[in-house]
Amino acid sequence: MQVLVLNSGSSSLKFQLFAMPEETIICAGVVERIGFTDAKFKFKSEHKNVETETKILTHKAALKLVAKHLLDKKEGVLKTAEDIKIVGHRVVHGGMHFNDTVEIDQDVKEKIKSLSSLAPLHNPANLEGIMVAETIFPTAKQVAVFDTAFLQSIPEKAYKFAIPNEFLTEHHIRVYGFHGTSHKYVSEQANKFLGTKESKIITIHLGNGCSMTAIKNGKSIDHSMGFSPLDGLIMGTRSGAIDPSVIFHLKDALGYSMKQINALLNKESGMLGLTGYSDLRDIELKASEGDKNCQLALQMNAYRIKKYIGSYATILNGLDAIVFTAGIGENSSLIRNLVCEDLDFLGITLDENKNNLRSKTIRTINSDTSKVKILVVPTNEELEIAKQSVSLFIN
């Protein structure tokens, strides 16, 4: 069967069309920099390779562009929309409602919408993708795969906040964690590469959104994001961890409304707030040209990651490997170098020559003397979503 997977990020839409269960990729692509006039569109199949720059301001417009190329009469890969049997959607926040993959109905859509305030850059885009896909592929089964599902194994001592108990029991305020589909996929690939299931791994997902997970024997035990995808590492436009008192100060002393604060921390902070750029490629270029703000932002970014590595190595009581993945983690040798320098106390030493090589396959970039493996593992959230979507109807 043909399964279309849609992975909506905060500023991107990745897509892959699979023949399942063979796991053969029929076509794949991405729309990057959604919301900008110079958005980038890539589409690749056996007979078609498109790379273009155009104005794409919304996720809805991005999905319509993808569908146009899928169904193109001359060079498309589908004869009709009915060829698609399943559309698998990445959904970021499942809250307490979802701890597994589900077929989408009206109730599921309403619950995804109700959680939008907890993932304002993601759940609305995920829901919009679902609703547009329902109109373009009306005969397909629509399936939601939740980022939060893999992180349900985090123990209570790690997911509970130190606030009165009723906020957890009555209002479900707790750490949920995100990027779980990616963390699950790359940790499983890392374990296969290492030849073991008994491992202590830290997975580092670095894209426009960034997160880290401590994983012991295949189960997540802690995660850098929290109640929403705002917490933890410095991200493209999100602040990451911040003293809650800053919010009170912004409101009471500086006159910001709660709506303005929400926009500030989610859309105007992070690398964008520090440098004026949200794309790390732009920041690295400006840093190389001597831009002090960009140089400092890169150092801050790596410093925050290093803090989590130290913390997670402690709770894991040891470390077998750290795994870099996602757009930045897989492609930025500079960030990997900044993160790994001066971690020899933990047995982490990088081989700069290996680090500077490019590859689309899993590889080690640690030195021969490093006690801890440093892996670059290309994530494939789309394949993981396809597999989970199909299993919902086969098993």
| CATH code for the domain of 64 | 3.30.420.40
Establish whether 281 is an annotated binding residue: yes
- Total domain count for the chain? 2
Establish whether 94 is an annotated binding residue: no
**Residue 301 covered by a domain:** yes
Q: Which residues form the domain of 314? A: 191-376
Which residues have a Cβ under 8 Å from the Cβ of 218 and sit 6 or more positions away?
187, 188, 191, 197, 199
- Whether 62 and 204 map to the same domain: the answer is no
Which tokens go with 370? Answer: 């490093």
- Whether 195 and 337 map to the same domain: the answer is yes
What's the start-to-end Cα distance of the chain, in Å? 15
Q: Which residues of the chain are under the pLDDT cut of 50? A: none
Write down the residue that tokens 């870099």 correspond to: 324
Q: Is 147 a catalytic residue?
A: yes
- Please state whether 317 falls in left (phi above 0), alpha (psi between -120 and 50) or beta: left
Which residues have a Cβ under 8 Å from the Cβ of 109 and sit 6 or more positions away?
127, 130, 131
**Residue 155 covered by a domain:** no
**Residue 179 covered by a domain:** no
- Whether 215 and 122 map to the same domain: the answer is no
Write down the residue that tokens 């890392």 correspond to: 190
Confirm if 174 and 156 have CB atoms less than 8 A apart. Answer: no
Tell me the C-alpha distance between 229 and 232, whole Å: 8
Q: What is the pLDDT of residue 46?
A: 85
- Name the catalytic one among 147, 222, 231, 320: 147
Tell me the C-alpha distance between 360 and 376, whole Å: 9
Establish whether 208 is an annotated binding residue: yes
φ, ψ dihedrals at 44, nearest 5°: -135, 125
Q: What is the pLDDT of residue 395?
A: 60
Q: What is the pLDDT of residue 8?
A: 79
Indicate the Cα dihedral angle 281, 378, 207, 365, nearest 10°.
-60
- Whether 121 and 206 map to the same domain: the answer is no
Give the global pTM. Answer: 0.84
CA angle 187, 190, 194 (to 5 degrees): 140
Establish whether 316 is an annotated binding residue: no
List strands edge to edge, sheet with 49-56: 49-56, 36-45, 24-32, 12-19, 2-8, 84-91, 141-146, 102-103
- Whether 130 and 202 map to the same domain: the answer is no
- Whether 109 and 256 map to the same domain: the answer is no
**Residue 248 covered by a domain:** yes
